Chain A
């Protein structure tokens, strides 16, 4: 320890650092870090841009869609059961397309949720490390298979071999069932992989706590891990639903083109996306009513997906469990 006098001297020797400053002097230099400012601007730009692009897309849908609704009433559009925009006595009831979309989505989810969650529980709770290390990447790879491939798979194998030959169902080559089921297969990896992530993130301490109370592995998986991962699992399923609602290729190839109210999955039917894909390829004049229908249906698709996501956010909030 140095004596007070040397300390005082030392202080005096480094003015502005150790000595008390004269009142009113500004010691702290104003910070100017140009690099940081640039990065911040760039990041902000990226954030705003992605929001702006999304808003822009919606707005670009909005213009032609509004033109459409100036000629066709919203009520007629949403409740009509005849969709014949190309006929001479054109009718713009969107329900046939909506029912087809609802059916394919429902079937896809009915396939994807049990298989997806089953594989997620297996991978996260039962599979030996080695198996998981192999299966997980394979699953993620499957999620990247182009949807056209699934479309042809439905058309050339699933419908004729599985539905017609094995199950002896009364279906043609095109059906809502075939498109929906194969779409479900397509979504399984998404649901499985994301749910597995959520379940693996649940701390082992909870599993041990459950085991120490005399719970078996199934009970631990279903009553501790599953609820703890629930919000992540909901997110996975919702992403699956969103993909199903918006999926275009499979339904266009395997669901059929016939526009009709779908009341049985054995029927064929055109979904909203089928219609958009076909109409977009057509030769309708820009600004014509037929052209504008595209945007009206697109806007409806957007709102449906939005609603699904809003419901999901609510669910996730309600069931969020921290650990």
Chain B
């Protein structure tokens, strides 16, 4: 293992500088992913309907809303993880840099290589810390000249390097929950994705570990586009540039519950001057 501090320091400097020089959130995002009239079905059940929103480049977008309104469903459709769920079907268009990622011929594996995902429950592989990180680059056939340096870089970006640098060959299961979640983030970073999707990444973590992940997201925002699902209003308010509020409404004709997007705007707008009374109700209810 090369442990000269240069890699680490360089990235830290890079992050600090980028963070300091962060511009205001623009009125309209430069879209990396465009979600257009998207509905997701589980067999015949329309879980979410007619969602349209743009995921801005190098921004953090939060998806919030009550349980069951389809946040995870929408998130999974953004990197075709829905393909792994039997009966799941997506209608409408989801464009990644302009290209419909659901059009015939698109390899879902390629989609996931560019749009990574971190799950609610940390799910490191039963392998060493090192192998957890190296796994993605290895299976995707990434050209990596120096895997050791690559692993170090990913762990450093995920703010985990200092804690694990002496036990890279040990099992990832020896880490705490918060460390495991950062390992999963590092693992995702290691394949150098463009976008990172996070589904309640802090749900199983204590407040301190949660803050560390939030710090981390704030640092990573300049290098990646991040979409995060969260039930934690403060978290959305703290880290997200833009926030989408979803809710579930009952269709008066069929009596079925469908998730829908209520409002999507800059986070400050959503939290300070929401346009829709349902947003306001939800947020104020949560804030008490």
Contact = CB atoms under 8 A, between A and B. Distances in A.
Interface string B125-153: 11100000001100110000000000000
B187 to A, nearest CB: 7
B175 interface: no
23 contacts: A203-B123, A205-B119, A207-B84, A208-B81, A208-B119, A209-B125, A211-B81, A212-B79, A212-B116, A212-B188, A213-B187, A213-B191, A214-B110, A214-B112, A214-B140, A215-B140, A219-B139, A223-B135, A228-B125, A228-B126, A321-B171, A322-B126, A323-B173
Given A212-B119, A214-B139, 8 more contacts: A205-B119, A206-B123, A209-B123, A210-B125, A210-B135, A212-B117, A214-B109, A321-B126
Contacts of B139: 210, 213-216, 219, 223
A203 B135 CA distance: 18
B112 A212 contact: yes
B35 to A, nearest CB: 19
B135 to A, nearest CB: 7
A228 B173 CA distance: 13
B86 interface: yes
A279 interface: no
In the complex, the 4 A-B pairs of residues with the closest C-beta atoms, listed nearest first:
A214-B113, A321-B126, A213-B136, A212-B117
A224 interface: yes
A129 interface: yes
A223 B109 CA distance: 16
A207 B79 CA distance: 15
A68 B212 CA distance: 72
A129 to B, nearest CB: 7
A206 B184 CA distance: 11
Contacts of A205: 119, 121, 123
Nearest to B84: A211
A212 B84 CA distance: 10
Contacts of B184: 209
A100 B95 CA distance: 65
Contacts of A321: 126-127, 171
Contacts of A203: 123
Nearest to B196: A212
Contacts of B126: 206, 227-228, 321-323
A322 B175 CA distance: 13
A226 to B, nearest CB: 11
Chain A interface main SS type: helix
Interface string B80-123: 01001010000000000000000000000110110011110101
A121 B116 CA distance: 26
A165 B238 CA distance: 77
The range of chain A's interface size is 20 to 34
Nearest to A128: B86
Interface residues of B, number: 28
A129 B85 CA distance: 12
Interface in B187-238: 187-188, 191
Interface in A41-85: none
A224 B125 contact: yes
B123 A213 contact: no
Interface in A289-323: 321-323
B109 A215 contact: yes
B188 A213 contact: yes
Interface in A175-218: 203, 205-216
B137 to A, nearest CB: 9
Contacts of A214: 109-110, 112-113, 116, 136, 139-140, 191
B112 A213 contact: yes
Contacts of A213: 112-113, 116, 135-136, 139-140, 187-188, 191
B253 to A, nearest CB: 33
B226 to A, nearest CB: 14
A211 B125 contact: no
Nearest to A209: B123
A156 B16 CA distance: 78
A322 B188 CA distance: 22
A207 B118 CA distance: 13
Given A227-B126, A321-B126, A212 B81 contact: yes
A215 B125 CA distance: 13
Interface string A228-246: 1000000000000000000
Interface in B155-169: none
A120 B115 CA distance: 31
B33 to A, nearest CB: 16
B212 to A, nearest CB: 20
B145 to A, nearest CB: 20
A210 B123 CA distance: 10
Given A215-B139, A219-B139, A321-B126, A209 B86 contact: no
Of B113, B119, B125, B140, chain A has the most CB atoms within 10 Å of the CB of: B125
A90 to B, nearest CB: 55
Nearest to B111: A214
Nearest to A218: B139
A227 B127 contact: yes
A208 B109 contact: no
Contacts of B118: 212
B112 A206 contact: no
